Structure 1
Amino acid sequence: MRGLGAILAVVFVSACGGAGGPSPAAATSAGPSATAAPSPVTVKFGQVGSVSDAAIFIADAKGYFKEQAITLEAVPFTSAALMVAPLGTNEIQAGGGAPSAGLYNAVDRGVQLRIVADKGSLTSGHGYEAVIVRKALADKVKSAKDMKGLKISIAARDIVPEYSLDQYLRSGGLTVKDVEVVPLAFPDMIPALASGAIDVALPTEPTATRILDAGTGVLLTRTDTVVPGEQTAVILYSEKFAQDKDAATRFMVAYLKGARYFNDAFDKGDATKKQDVIDIVAKGTKLDPALLARVIFPGIDPNGKLSVDSLIAAQQYFVTKGSQTKAIDMSKIVDASFADEAVKRLGGAYK
């Protein structure tokens, strides 16, 4: 009996984790880690440096990219059209700007890239693009129907703002064929209106507010009333970066956190966040915070949702005009999977 008792004692001690059994700490350390640290990655982002880059500026300034082990390296461009070739070769991994006939023609030629998220749109109250007439003509030019033969300036031909102009002119029974389109960089529109070199301008912010401040132009309308919800700017991924699903999704998580902070500030009316955003964008664009406090910012979807219908409508304009060789299948270039996954990781849709 004494021998049997000794055996039972040993069994009991072993079952309770005593001599000969692994300690709880040892058992825990032997298992896999709960969450593997993300692999660090540097993302070169093509950037025009406009107010529609607000969510990117915020995500960088607030450390959201750093949270995702991403080092953001901003690469300056004067337009999104110039980003197409470097995106195609993965010289830059991502970028943002206006859709254009040039972008779609490049895709048709075999350049591989993807449109992955909204970066700026003309949602209600976010008409950051304006139609402004020269002050000397304000008594005669009240709407689109009065613009036949006038010199009208946009930033470039065959980009989405040209489609906006055409839609505005159609409200008065005209088209772009009935006016003289004068491409000018936004800052150059200010002296051009003042001197009478152009009659009407379609600037985005902050140029629109600068013209109105100067008193050389009169606001006719904001284009959120002309083309409501128009997709004016998008986030682009190179094909190679898109194939790195983990890094591409982490980038989107950080970006959407920036977009949500932006929406807290401008759509939900958080005054503290609004001032913070203004300061962040001022630093990123090198613009005066006092000026930015008065401009109208674009809509930036907090879930990254794109208006595919708007992209298709602008594309059809380019095709009809002849600047785009043929329509491309948007389902082959628009990829919402990164934004969808990022929304899940952020706990669901922003409301």
Structure 2
Amino acid sequence: MLKDLLVVAAATFALLGHAQAQTMKTVKVGTTNLSSDIGLFLAEKRGYFRDEGLKVELVPFDAGAKMVAPLGAGDLDAGAGAASAGLYNAVNRGLKLKMVADKGTNISGYSYKALMVRKDLIESGAFKSLADLKGKKVAIIANGAADESVINQALKKAGLKDDDIEKVFLPFPQHLTAFANKAIDASISAEPGVTAMIRNNAAVRFVGIDDFYPVQQTAMLLINGKFADDRKTVTAFLKAYLRGVRDYVATLKDGKIAGPGAETMIRDIAEMTGIRDTTLLHQMVPVFIDPDGQINRASVETDLAYLKSRGLVANDISAEGVVDMSFVEELKPVLGSFKASN
């Protein structure tokens, strides 16, 4: 009799599990497996998406720019992104994309992007101030990327203009080799590449970009128009995402991943990024992600204005038409206030 009851109970639980799986909504999200994707990774690994009745598929891409087309076509619901001429021009062509939450902000104390300068130029005294950017070859991740606006802020502080430097468009992983070969003099680079270049004596971290651009919105979560219309699902998705973000931010202390739970977080980031040398993750300046998901609109507008000034983006595109903070605003009373460890 007991055996029969156990069989019936097991069958019932199996049916309930199957029914739950059928009712879970699938959300496809593009990722690049960079450290700024940690909120998404943790929300999936720790079951936060499942808690919200969501089955989230994290789809890997080797560059955020490659997500724009599948986002617009509806093949992705959400994706990791960055402000760029390509993104704004896609919106101008009619793709309904929205920036809905922070995924990486460069701020004082957590300037994970830096102006790097070739080590021999520093040691010889040939590079002493931002004014010495004049006539130099400066690596930037891509033409029309927000980092063009970043270097422009450095040039403005030094009283220089865009045409005072020679821009060299190179993906971040190629910066170290370019410095070693003396193909570039300076760069706007990101962690963990910054720490790797310092370790290899190829370049010096001259200043964090917060030295000349105090708050720069580096990355954000994007969603497409169809997904945006399903407010209940988007809000549930962002709630789970921000739980992951808060787990991460809680481990930040004194400009490092050194707070409570740091060792577990280092292992999670290593697993996500494929970085085997965890000492690199201990030493690097980590990305900051706003625990409430707030996007710095002033930075978005600064970068957009620069792209317009270069004729890379049409003048009728506005940040207001792309940034939508209504979802994370709805979550403020749900998530409550966040207390940082430092």
Tell me if both proteins adopt one fold, taking TM over 0.5 as the criterion.
yes
Distance 1:106 1:141 in 2: 39
Deviation of 1:183 (Å): 1.0
Which of 52, 68, 77 is equivalent to 2:61? 77
Which of 269, 277, 282 is equivalent to 2:265? 277
Distance 1:97 1:212 in 2: 27
Which of 288, 295, 309 is equivalent to 1:299? 288
Which of 177, 181, 206 is equivalent to 2:163? 177
* Amino acid in the other structure paired with 1:59: A
Distance 1:280 1:263 in 2: 13
Deviation of 1:327 (Å): 4.1
Which of 305, 308, 320 is equivalent to 2:297? 308
Superposed, which structure 2 residues align to 1:324-339 within 5 Å? Answer: 324-339=313-328
Superposed, which structure 2 residues align to 1:43-192 within 5 Å? Answer: 43-138=27-122, 139-192=125-178
Indicate the residue corresponding to 1:340 in structure 2.
329
Q: Which runs of 5+ in 2 are unaligned?
A: 1-19
Superposed, which structure 2 residues align to 1:149-298 within 5 Å? Answer: 149-267=135-253, 271-287=259-275, 288-298=277-287
Instruction: For residues 152-202 of structure 1, give each alpha carbon's deviation from its aligned partner in whole angstroms, at most 9, with x where no partner exists.
Output: 101111111111111012211112221111111211111110110111121
Identity %: 37
Deviation of 1:81 (Å): 2.1
Distance 1:143 1:49 in 2: 34
Indicate the residue corresponding to 1:15 in structure 2.
none
Greater than 4 Å deviation, 4+ residue runs = 267-270
Q: Which moved more, 1:47-56 or 1:91-100?
A: 47-56
Distance 1:66 1:333 in 2: 29
* Amino acid in the other structure paired with 2:57: E
CA contact (8 A) 2:81 2:220 kept: yes
Distance 1:312 1:79 in 2: 23
Indicate the residue corresponding to 2:10 in structure 1.
none
* Amino acid in the other structure paired with 1:145: A
Distance 2:189 2:217 in 1: 16
Distance 2:55 2:283 in 1: 32
Q: Highest CA radius of gyration, 1 or 2? A: 1
Q: What is the aligned length?
A: 314
Deviation of 1:267 (Å): 4.5
Distance 1:223 1:289 in 2: 24
CA contact (8 A) 1:49 1:76 kept: yes
* Amino acid in the other structure paired with 1:199: D
Distance 1:102 1:208 in 2: 26
Q: Which moved more, 1:254-263 or 1:329-338?
A: 329-338
- Decide whether aligned partners of structure 1 residues 81 and 66 sit closer, same or farther in structure 2, where only a CA change above 3 A counts: same
Distance 1:77 1:143 in 2: 37
Deviation of 1:84 (Å): 1.4
Deviation of 1:97 (Å): 2.1
Alpha-carbon RMSD: 1.7
Which of 303, 318, 326 is equivalent to 2:307? 318
Indicate the residue corresponding to 1:21 in structure 2.
none
Indicate the residue corresponding to 1:41 in structure 2.
25
Q: Which runs of 5+ in 1 are unaligned?
A: 1-36
CA contact (8 A) 1:144 1:170 kept: no
Q: Secondary structure at the match of 1:317?
A: helix
Distance 1:92 1:188 in 2: 28
